[in-house]
Structure 1
Amino acid sequence: MSTHRTLIRNGRVLTMDPALGDFDSADVLIEDDTIVAIGPNLGVVDAEVIDASNHIVLPGFIDTHRHTWQSLFRGVCSDWTLGDYYFGMRLGISPAYTADDVRLGNFYGAVDALNSGVTTLLDFSHCNNTPDHSDGAVQGLLQAGIRASFCYGFFESSPAQSQFGDHTARLADFHRIADTYFASDGRLTLGVSLSEIFGLPWADTVSELAAARERKALLVNHAGCVFGSALCNGILEMDQLGLLGPDMVHVHCCSFGDDEWEALARSGGKVSISSQTEMNMGFGRPVFQRCEQHGIAPTLSADVISLNSGDLWHELRFGLSCARADAADPINAAGQMPDAVALPAREALKWTTVNAAEAMGLGDRIGSLTPGKRADLQIIGGPALEQHPVLDPYATLVFQTSAADVRTVIVDGRVVKRDGILTVTDRTSLTAEVDAASERILGRLRDAGRELPGTPPGAFTAIEPLTRSFHEQAIQATAVVAR
């Protein structure tokens, strides 16, 4: 089979590789799925040419935590609390999804990501209501052509009408998915989305961790996002039991104290920050400063498209603004003004490229434009007013750019967006299909007499006794180890 060569010509190339640096004008040569050369005037003639003149070429973005299936309900959580989200989305809307709804949600969500330059997702998939739902979730990602870590979630959205019966059956379905779709190394890699710590018996949490490590799968968990509760905590107990590790991505972490941060840092664990969710739903301040204090490279995530945009450019701006404001707060409190910004725009781009690739265990494949790595990249520019003039490309990217400015996107050497037009689907027919699907799901909820969000009074207070009982199980386990 002949090699397909693509030459991206005459672009302003930001490699995110410190050994290569940036180029005011350079070419990028791709052979099949791999970057093979970067430099000025490569002189290649036998290749498909993509003209990047007056455009910026950079690595594709990497989102380290997205509940992709929720893309069918864009914005529904805009005025919801975390409790509303849990009861309205996780226990309300999720049970009304069919397997094909999950497939469509993941396909649409992945296409939405590609459209804005996100070439890799950590898909925190917790709408696996039946084995067919699990299949649909994987198939949606495959259909879209995105690179992703499919992180299988064990959450039970219909406890009274479970289609699995028990946790053991869910573990068996995870292994079935692993055998069916992940026998070979491809664009999709395998992961596990832990059920919320202390939201289920401690033995079940341990079994999820064991299943992931048996398969050498990436682990991701919601952590430190419920103040005043044991729910989504457990870092210290996992540390004492030797269950933490560098294969884990901890999401949010806003309520962690010093001990939790020290344990997380010792373990080599990674952190995903969803600034818009955290600030809007009352999780607390995004933890950029905490990451810096403990030597942890932060990453970014869009989290829930049921609240946030799937466009990581928004998250970049919001995150950098939060990080700079937090750094300035003590200076302002002392009656002074900062002498310099705490973080440059260039640093923020690491959050969605090299840092994120390392967090997902893919640093040797993606995250920078480096010969030998996979050809995942985006080309930014065009006629929009906000793209001119480009005095500092990093400033233009972080503060001026949106999905509309993403002209071309390449994943694994394949063009998925060209000159502003998606090549993987017809936008008009897809949005019509999505509108119809969301209306069908709402119809099922209406037929069942289910109002949204449907949060009972004192929601977290009501579940706290059960949460604390599961926490006590973990404490007892640590006591046994300590003897």
Structure 2
Amino acid sequence: MAQDRILLRGGTVLTMDPRLGTLTRGDVLIENGVIVAVAPELAVDEAELVDVTGHVVAPGMIDTHRHTWQTPLRALCADWTLIDYLFGVRLGVSPAFEPDDVRLGNRLGALDALNSGVTTILDFSHCNNTPEHADAAIAGLRESGIRAVFGYGFFESNPAEPPHFADHAARVSDFARVADTHFSSRDALVTLGAALTEYGTLPFDTTRAEIMAARERDALIVMHTGCVWSLPTGVGELAAAGLLGPDQVHVHCNTLTDHEWQLMADHGAKLSISVETELNMGMGRPAFAAARRHGIEPTLSCDIVSLNTGDLFTQTRMGLAFQRWADTEALNLGGGDPTIVSITAHDALRWSTVNAADAVGMADRIGSLTPGRQADVIVTGGPGLSQHPHLDPAGTLVFQTTPDDVRHVLVAGRFAKRDGRLTGADLPGLLTRADACAERVLGRIAASGRPLPGTPPQGWDAVIAASSELHQAP
């Protein structure tokens, strides 16, 4: 039997490729980590046969913005506002994380993603307190077996002790070290990205320096944009300076004006929406409607499991429900009823497959079950009550599926989850370590005498005032 050939036989194949469509019953042949054939029936003699009859076979899902390092603090900020999060996690928790904590967080967070059928993450890694933290974050991702873009965060966590990096130039220099040390090939499972410091919190020249450093290394750029109503978005300034572009994933974008949306569209910038975070932390309406008006294809983000879930089924379901409601609210309030839904389940699955693959610069590699693409594949079904029957495969994935229903997950043709269990991971041991990690981190914070979330009275007003003084547009 050829171990480098796998035949997924007899499933309902949701290809997300408009040329192939959805096969009610079909086979998927994988060879050397690549999809080589998709058809109703394939005559294959030598291959590892996996019977997926009664299951849905689909592309692996892609998360375009995840702070993976926070996984050991699951639900810590369940009742926090965004401002509480900025003070509590960014200024309180982050300084208390040591390199081993970041490594564990990234490994466990990536396994959490894989367990739920997320095969690729754009890791917004903004706990790089020292070079060792960045190295540990990359190690954690690689140990998990996930496909990832490691977004090196330039953010300064401002610990009580003097920071490791003397100035912003030292951080840019460490980004170059990380690029040269860890990322010699763009064909690896983990590739290089850059996570920018929020616009308006530093002088404009530092934003320019971060973008230029990323582009010198051909790194995907990810940045939080338009998520705080009292801070500038920077979209107009970036466009005027020639810095806005298609190599950027802009996250949230709740506060953008129509003019700023048009600039995003004109420059080919990408959009990541964190539905669960944005609705729960009071950040405004998720930007599906604005994206639609301006022809921008939305993508989805789990954002922070320190608040919410780490699976994209939930984000897709919430996003679809929100936008269907928003599209009918005016009609309802006027006494009318819709006669057709504004977005289908299949439309919504594009957010975390083909749209997301394009956003992370991998449209030619992942995002659909197209021959020639990498074999990032999920198989859902099994004994769960919600999985029988699956009359509408897209509807089943969006409305009926949970991580427990994900039976198999392949990344580049390798099983990361098989028969409902993660492969190659001591999950009980990792969970025990996660509990201990959380206890240590919270103990360090308590020893510092700072309560969580630690938002001081008028603290946000001080942040806004400081931003106004620092911000110098071009």
Q: TM-score, normalised by structure 2?
A: 0.98
Query: Which residue number corresponds to residue 70 of structure 1?
Result: 70
* Contact 2:331/2:338 (8 A) holds in 1: yes
Report the alpha carbon displacement of residue 33 of structure 1 after superposing the two structures with TM.
1.2
* Contact 1:145/1:424 (8 A) holds in 2: no
Report the alpha carbon displacement of residue 159 of structure 1 after superposing the two structures with TM.
5.3
Report the alpha carbon displacement of residue 40 of structure 1 after superposing the two structures with TM.
2.1
Report the alpha carbon displacement of residue 470 of structure 1 after superposing the two structures with TM.
3.1
Report the alpha carbon displacement of residue 158 of structure 1 after superposing the two structures with TM.
2.1
Query: Which residue number corresponds to residue 401 of structure 1?
Result: 401
Report the alpha carbon displacement of residue 3 of structure 1 after superposing the two structures with TM.
6.8
Query: Which residue number corresponds to residue 81 of structure 2?
Result: 81
Amino acid across the alignment from 1:176: R
Q: Secondary structure at the match of 2:141?
A: helix
Query: Which residue number corresponds to residue 325 of structure 1?
Result: 325
Query: Which residue number corresponds to residue 335 of structure 2?
Result: 335
* Contact 2:299/2:352 (8 A) holds in 1: yes
* Contact 2:200/2:231 (8 A) holds in 1: no
- Provide the rounded CA distance (Å) in 2 between the counterparts of 1:129 and 1:372: 40
- Provide the rounded CA distance (Å) in 2 between the counterparts of 1:458 and 1:275: 28
The yes-or-no answer on 1:441 pairing with 2:409 is no
Query: Which residue number corresponds to residue 467 of structure 2?
Result: 467
Where do residues 177-188 of structure 1 align in structure 2 (5 Å cutoff)? 177-184=178-185, 185-188=187-190
Where do residues 179-218 of structure 1 align in structure 2 (5 Å cutoff)? 179-184=180-185, 185-218=187-220
Query: Which residue number corresponds to residue 263 of structure 1?
Result: 263
- Provide the rounded CA distance (Å) in 2 between the counterparts of 1:426 and 1:54: 29
Amino acid across the alignment from 2:147: R
Query: Which residue number corresponds to residue 308 of structure 2?
Result: 308
* Contact 2:81/2:281 (8 A) holds in 1: yes
Query: Which residue number corresponds to residue 129 of structure 1?
Result: 129
Structure 1, unaligned stretches of length 5 or more? Answer: 478-483
Query: Which residue number corresponds to residue 170 of structure 1?
Result: 171
CA offsets per residue over residues 181-209 of structure 1, 9 Å max, x none? 11112111111101000111211111000
Amino acid across the alignment from 2:267: S
Moved more, 354-363 or 325-334: 325-334
Report the alpha carbon displacement of residue 333 of structure 1 after superposing the two structures with TM.
2.7
Query: Which residue number corresponds to residue 59 of structure 2?
Result: 59
Amino acid across the alignment from 1:190: L
Q: Secondary structure at the match of 2:37?
A: strand
Report the alpha carbon displacement of residue 259 of structure 1 after superposing the two structures with TM.
1.1
Structure 2, unaligned stretches of length 5 or more? Answer: none
- Provide the rounded CA distance (Å) in 1 between the counterparts of 2:461 and 2:39: 60
Q: Secondary structure at the match of 2:261?
A: helix
Where do residues 36-115 of structure 1 align in structure 2 (5 Å cutoff)? 36-115=36-115
CA offsets per residue over residues 116-137 of structure 1, 9 Å max, x none? 0000000000000000000000
Query: Which residue number corresponds to residue 9 of structure 1?
Result: 9
* Contact 2:226/2:256 (8 A) holds in 1: yes
* Contact 1:377/1:411 (8 A) holds in 2: yes
Amino acid across the alignment from 2:70: Q
- Provide the rounded CA distance (Å) in 1 between the counterparts of 2:396 and 2:3: 35
Moved more, 100-109 or 38-47: 38-47
CA offsets per residue over residues 346-378 of structure 1, 9 Å max, x none? 100000100000000000000000110000010
Amino acid across the alignment from 2:228: V
- Provide the rounded CA distance (Å) in 1 between the counterparts of 2:369 and 2:431: 33
* Contact 1:57/1:378 (8 A) holds in 2: yes
Give aligned pairs, total.
Answer: 471
Query: Which residue number corresponds to residue 480 of structure 1?
Result: none
Amino acid across the alignment from 2:219: A
- Provide the rounded CA distance (Å) in 2 between the counterparts of 1:176 and 1:18: 42
- Provide the rounded CA distance (Å) in 1 between the counterparts of 2:222 and 2:180: 20
Q: Secondary structure at the match of 1:314?
A: helix
The yes-or-no answer on 1:412 pairing with 2:412 is yes
Query: Which residue number corresponds to residue 424 of structure 2?
Result: 424
Report the alpha carbon displacement of residue 269 of structure 1 after superposing the two structures with TM.
0.5
Amino acid across the alignment from 1:203: D
Moved more, 45-54 or 299-308: 45-54
Query: Which residue number corresponds to residue 221 of structure 1?
Result: 223
CA offsets per residue over residues 7-54 of structure 1, 9 Å max, x none? 111111010001111111111111111111111221112111111010
* Contact 1:353/1:367 (8 A) holds in 2: yes
Q: Secondary structure at the match of 1:438?
A: helix
* Contact 1:83/1:459 (8 A) holds in 2: no
CA offsets per residue over residues 308-361 of structure 1, 9 Å max, x none? 100111101100001101111121232211111110111000001000000000
* Contact 1:149/1:190 (8 A) holds in 2: yes
Amino acid across the alignment from 1:224: G
- Provide the rounded CA distance (Å) in 2 between the counterparts of 1:75 and 1:424: 26
* Contact 2:9/2:49 (8 A) holds in 1: yes
- Provide the rounded CA distance (Å) in 2 between the counterparts of 1:333 and 1:240: 41
CA offsets per residue over residues 168-192 of structure 1, 9 Å max, x none? 1111111111111111121111111
- Provide the rounded CA distance (Å) in 2 between the counterparts of 1:73 and 1:173: 27
Moved more, 324-333 or 349-358: 324-333
CA offsets per residue over residues 207-264 of structure 1, 9 Å max, x none? 000001101111111011111332xx10011111111001111101001111111111
Runs of 4+ deviating beyond 6 Å: none
Amino acid across the alignment from 1:406: V
Cα RMSD (Å): 1.0
Amino acid across the alignment from 2:32: D
* Contact 1:5/1:46 (8 A) holds in 2: yes
Using the aligned pairs only, state the percent identity. Answer: 55
* Contact 2:230/2:464 (8 A) holds in 1: no
Amino acid across the alignment from 1:132: E
Query: Which residue number corresponds to residue 143 of structure 2?
Result: 143
The yes-or-no answer on 1:156 pairing with 2:168 is no
